[in-house]
């Protein structure tokens, strides 16, 4: 792997712990003004300093993130569908590698839809993006998007993750599932998990994060479970404690409650 590629990866997968906490704020690219991300600037401002990387689209990056901020950017570069359509898999690349370089990003991200109607199109997009990324030293993160009919089980997610890595993805983002270690053991590149829909309690989020990192994930690329929380800053700081210190879920909950109690 080229020096530039390794350098960019190490900007967000931290060398001291080998782990990463990415804050996902790209939801608007097909969901529009998602709850508590209606005003991305406001949502991002108190959280960005606690994240190892931020994952926005180019529109949110340019309009809602101060360029003087030094948090690495993992730029969402696929899209072309909206939640109003039945089939979300009809995605293409929406931002060129040249533009990603101009915005000084640390990685680019796209979704692949394995098993969906547009499987091939999204896998070819991944392959082409990797080839361009290799040319410029920009890592590619592949998100194993789950179609409405797909089971979120290890059989499906391990298949999609492995295919992403075989086509050259440098990092894979997928969902936590039972027998998760089977997925991480069969995927030769770093794996991060999405948070998915907001879970019922903070402890549920801490348990999922702990289980993921102790079963082989290098961390999380989490959105709604952080910024849809009533206590987003305490939430991101507590998830961070698990990701980088392997704090147990109960320890993270104590930490969370202390942070909440200390608030004015």
Q: For binding to ligand R5P (CB under 6 A), which residues are involved? A: 24, 26-27, 55, 111, 143, 145, 194-196, 221-225
Residues labelled catalytic:
173
- For the bound state, the minimum distance from the C-beta of residue 198 to ligand R5P, rounded and expressed in Å, comes to 8
Of 52 and 221, nearer to ligand R5P (C-beta) is 221
Long-range pairs of 256-262 with CB within 8 A, sequence gap ≥ 24: 256/202, 256/206, 256/231, 259/231, 259/233, 259/234, 260/231, 260/234
Q: Which is nearer to ligand R5P, 63 or 263 (CB)?
A: 63
> Phi and psi for 89 in degrees, rounded to 5?
-85, -5
Task: Specify the residue, 189 or 192, whose C-beta has the smaller distance to ligand R5P.
Answer: 192
Contacts of 182 (CB under 8 A, 6+ apart): 154, 158
Output the smallest distance, CB 116 to ligand R5P, in A. Answer: 13
Cβ nearer to ligand R5P, comparing 121 with 137? 121
- From the CB of 190, what's the least distance to ligand R5P, in Å? 16
CB of 219 to ligand R5P, least distance (A): 12
Strand order through the sheet with 74-76 = 53-55, 20-24, 219-222, 191-193, 171-174, 140-144, 107-112, 74-76
CA-CA distance, 85 to 162, in Å (whole number)? 28
Residue 253 contacts residue 203 (beta carbons within 8 Å): yes
| Residue 190 to residue 92: CA distance in whole angstroms | 24
């Amino acid at each position: 792997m080229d020096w530039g590629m390794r350098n960019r990866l190490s900007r967000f997968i931290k060398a001291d712990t080998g782990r990463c906490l990415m804050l996902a704020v790209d939801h608007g690219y097909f969901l529009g003004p998602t709850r508590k991300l209606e005003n991305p600037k406001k949502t991002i401002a108190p959280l960005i300093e606690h994240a190892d990387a931020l994952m926005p689209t180019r529109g949110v990056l340019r309009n809602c993130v101060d360029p003087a901020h030094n948090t690495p950017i993992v730029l969402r570069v696929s899209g072309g569908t909206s939640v109003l359509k039945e089939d979300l898999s009809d995605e293409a690349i929406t931002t060129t590698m040249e533009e990603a370089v101009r915005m000084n990003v640390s990685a680019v991200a796209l979704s692949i839809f394995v098993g969906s109607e547009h499987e091939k199109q999204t896998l070819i997009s991944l392959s082409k993006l990797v080839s361009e990324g290799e040319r410029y030293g920009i890592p590619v993160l592949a998100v194993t998007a789950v179609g409405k009919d797909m089971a979120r089980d290890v059989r499906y997610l391990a298949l999609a993750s492995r295919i992403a890595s075989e086509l050259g993805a440098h990092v894979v983002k997928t969902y936590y599932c039972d027998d998760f270690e089977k997925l991480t053991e069969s995927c030769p590149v770093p794996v991060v998990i999405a948070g998915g829909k907001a879970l019922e309690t903070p402890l549920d989020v801490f348990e999922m994060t702990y289980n993921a990192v102790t079963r082989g994930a290098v961390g999380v690329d989490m959105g709604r479970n952080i910024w849809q929380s009533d206590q987003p800053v305490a939430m991101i700081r507590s998830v961070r404690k698990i990701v980088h210190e392997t704090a147990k879920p109960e320890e993270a909950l104590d930490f969370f409650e202390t942070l909440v109690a200390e608030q004015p």
